[in-house]
Amino acid sequence: MDIDDYTIIRGHPRHARHQAGLRPFEGWALDAAGVLDRACPNFLVHILGGSPKYRQAVFLALGMGILPNPQEFLMRCNGDACETQQWAGVQHEVAQALMASTPRQIASATLGEIPDGLAGCLARLGSQPMPHAGDYVRLVDLLTSTEPEMRLRAKTLLQVSRLDSDLLSAVLEIDPIALIPDIFRRLRCGLEARRLNQRLSAIRLVSSTATDEALRQSLEDRALNFSGSSFAQSWLDKADRPPVVCKALDDHPDFERVTGANAAQMGKDHQNCLGSQSHKLIDGTWGAWVWKPGPLIVCVTKGYLTSEAETVLPLLSGLYAPGNREVRREHARMVKDVLRPLGVICFTRCDPVEEVRLLTQGRFVDDEFEEFGFQ
């Protein structure tokens, strides 16, 4: 960069200069600034040397579309829309107006009226443009909306000390009940907001007590040290309506479904580790029931007979006695005689070949068979 370029920068208003010198930027903003630089040489150098607030005001104007529609912007700047000039002359006037105006004047000429909070948002964006021109449109739409939910989103965004495109996506996508500043500060992007939304949707699906009021109170209680996984786990332990795995067992009077809400108590009553299985109890592929006449813990898994099969079938995948004692064979046969008419596939281990029974007895134990109810 030659001396003349720096002389040009020094000759313009002080708001456009920054002690850090020239700072590059790229993407859509560079393309748009390049168009104006061709019409008004040294415009790009002026922006490169501008202060962060000034640069953001220019990015705002470019993102809001003053290049394809400059008349209103020019009319607000100098009272002349330049409608009689050729296009290159109009672009020159736009560049000159941007170079001569303060950040507030640029925002006012771009929008007509500056919405509350916009100046602070632009200041928090730093010196680089947001990744997409539409991000500035989204920001302005958020700050100017009169809808109660959008106003709450804007209020939450204004209470955090940082701002970027990812955080803007997060505030626009997050479930309204999670619009709590301390929680929002822990979100880094729209992906994390969507992940929290998915957790909230899943909790609402499996827990009858997960009202908006209860969920928000739970979020507020954990806000200062919020962890999405621990929040979700706390609600899994209250899940009282897991997805259907085997409706026939749910409807049978001799079977009681184990859910996240009752797993700890059932595990205590039967001296099993059911309380640690809350994550499996709500995934929709595995379920556990207490067979009251036994009592036995019956576990059923949904699956396919072949990789090409389309029909989902319930398979007995485990039988457990209280205290994890060995299940007596006659009890296993009794419960299987009940399960098979209900459509549950049950396997029974074949007896060893009689002639070699004495040679193999007590030597070979197939734990996998035991897990799949081969008693």
pLDDT averaged per 10 residues, the chain (length 375): 38 48 91 94 93 96 92 82 70 92 94 94 94 96 96 93 90 93 84 91 92 94 89 87 91 92 84 76 88 90 79 89 86 91 86 68 46 47
* DSSP helix/strand/coil, 326: coil
Non-local (6+) Cβ contacts of 128 within 8 A are 25
Q: Residue 2 has what pLDDT?
A: 40
Where in the chain are all domains bearing CATH 3.40.630? Answer: 247-371
Cα separation, 104 vs 165, whole angstroms: 22
Q: How many CA atoms lie within 13 A of 220 on its CB side?
A: 8
Q: Residue 369 has what pLDDT?
A: 43
Q: Which two tokens stand for residue 230?
A: 């621990």
Tokens 């929680």: give the residue.
183
Q: Residue 365 has what pLDDT?
A: 44
Cα separation, 250 vs 258, whole angstroms: 10
User: Count of H helices and E strands in the chain?
Assistant: 21, 4
Non-local (6+) Cβ contacts of 38 within 8 A are 91
As beta bridge partners, residue 255 has 291
Cα separation, 268 vs 270, whole angstroms: 6
Handedness of CA 84, 90, 92, 97 (dihedral sign): positive
Q: Residue 371 has what pLDDT?
A: 46
Q: In the chain, what is the straight-line distance between the N-terminal and C-terminal CA atoms, in Å?
A: 84
Which CATH code for domain 247-371? 3.40.630
Q: Residue 274 has what pLDDT?
A: 74
Cα separation, 175 vs 55, whole angstroms: 33
As beta bridge partners, residue 95 has none
Report strand pairing: 286-291 vs 255-257: antiparallel
Report whether 156 contacts 175 (CB < 8 A).
no
Report strand pairing: 255-257 vs 296-303: unpaired
Q: Residue 326 has what pLDDT?
A: 85
Q: Which two tokens stand for residue 142?
A: 């958020």
Q: Residue 284 has what pLDDT?
A: 85
Report whether 43 contacts 36 (CB < 8 A).
yes
H or E stretch covering 298: strand 296-303
Q: Which two tokens stand for residue 253?
A: 């009077």
Tell me the chain's radius of gyration from C-alpha atoms. 33
Say whether the peptide bond before residue 295 is cis (omega within 30 degrees of 0).
Answer: yes
Q: Which two tokens stand for residue 104?
A: 């507030």
Cα separation, 285 vs 244, whole angstroms: 8
